[in-house]
Amino acid sequence: MKIAFHGQRGSYAEAAAAWMYADQDIATVPTATVQGVVDALLSGGVQLGVVRFEMSDWGTNYELLDLMRSNRVWFNREIRFHERYNLAGPRGSNRKGIKRVMAHPTILHFCSAYLGRQKDVEILARYDSADLLAAVATRGKGDEAVVCGDFAASIYGLSVLEAGVENNPTSITRFVALGPALVAPPKDRALVSTSVMFELKHEPGALMSALAAFKKYGINLNVVTGRPNRANRWDYTIYVEFSGAHSDDDNLNALAELKQHTTYLQVLGSYDSSEPRLKTT
């Protein structure tokens, strides 16, 4: 099975794909953008796509929600874990000898506090993360290092010189697997959730009436959030996550009742939650 992921080889998105489908024979395909993941999925070139959906420090990836509104892809699975970043160098290098540190700008941002404390060390931003990691490992220079995750360090053969240099050691990132069809998770999965987006009619009490549909059928809401609608100024799109699959009887009834209070309603998918196969903290 082919799985596209947003990022370069060794990224945590690739690790998320490997962990979510550890029981299957998979081949991962890197893409430079979230749009690239969706395009690969819609073209049939891959069977699934994995992207970062939410970070506890930075919030939701609304670009993905916008793409899902205009493209027929659905959430199939999720995984949550801490992204740990390390100072890593070629085999045999020493932390005290490092004079130059390189990484993707996003990773540098995640580790800005640690890097800001490094004196007499040159910090360089590089977008070609995969090529950079391979080059550092091959050159074997003892004065240069990279900032990368555990997964990347292991596949490129780098030594971790200092572990856990990210700004927030308790942050959690949520990755989702996208599929080309709306499916219900296997019955034996303990943690199953459904996500929907909707927009309300302009009438008094619309939001309370809409959410009352879930209360009526005893459905637990895990997430409720709103954001400005990109199409209609001053309108808002509501994003809701709740327990169970969309095909469960109570959820079907609640969604039918919810629809009566909306001008737009989209089921984004039902999905189970995986646990990481490797420790990252």
User: What is the band of 57 on the pLDDT scale with cuts at 50, 70, 90?
Assistant: confident
pLDDT recorded at residue 279? 46
Q: Regarding the domain delimited by 85-162, which CATH topology (the fold level of the hierarchy) does it fall under?
A: D-Maltodextrin-Binding Protein; domain 2 (3.40.190)
What is the full DSSP assignment across 26-56? -EEEEESSHHHHHHHHHHTS-SEEEEEEEET
- Read off the tokens for 203: 């009438």
User: 65-93 pLDDT, tens per residue?
Assistant: 999 999 999 999 999 999 999 999 999 99
In 91-101, which positions are buried (b, 16+ CB within 10 angstroms) versus exposed (e)?
A: eebeeeebeeb
- Read off the tokens for 251: 């959820």
What number does CATH give the domain 1-82+172-180? 3.40.190.10
List residues bridging with 59 in a β-sheet: 55
User: 222-252 pLDDT, tens per residue?
Assistant: 999 988 876 666 678 999 999 999 999 999 9
- Read off the tokens for 55: 């970070």
- Measured CA to CA, the distance from residue 81 to residue 12 in angstroms comes to 10
- Read off the tokens for 141: 């220079």
Lowest mean pLDDT among 2-16, 78-92, 180-194, 213-227: 180-194
- Measured CA to CA, the distance from residue 216 to residue 128 in angstroms comes to 52
User: 11-24 pLDDT, tens per residue?
Assistant: 999 999 999 999 99
CATH class name, domain 192-271: alpha beta
Q: Mean pLDDT, the chain, as a whole number?
A: 92
Half-sphere exposure of 1 (CA within 13 A, CB side): 15
Q: Please tell me the chain's helix, strand, coil percentages from 3-state DSSP, rounded to the nearest 5.
A: 30, 35, 35
- Measured CA to CA, the distance from residue 152 to residue 33 in angstroms comes to 19
- Domain spans of the chain? 1-82+172-180, 85-162, 192-271
**Which contiguous run of DSSP H or E holds residue 67?**
helix 62-70
What is the full DSSP assignment across 223-247? EEEEEE-SSSTT-EEEEEEEES-TT
- Read off the tokens for 92: 């045999």
Q: Which of 276, 278, 254, 280 is nearest to 267 (CA)?
A: 254
1-82+172-180 against 192-271: fold identical: no
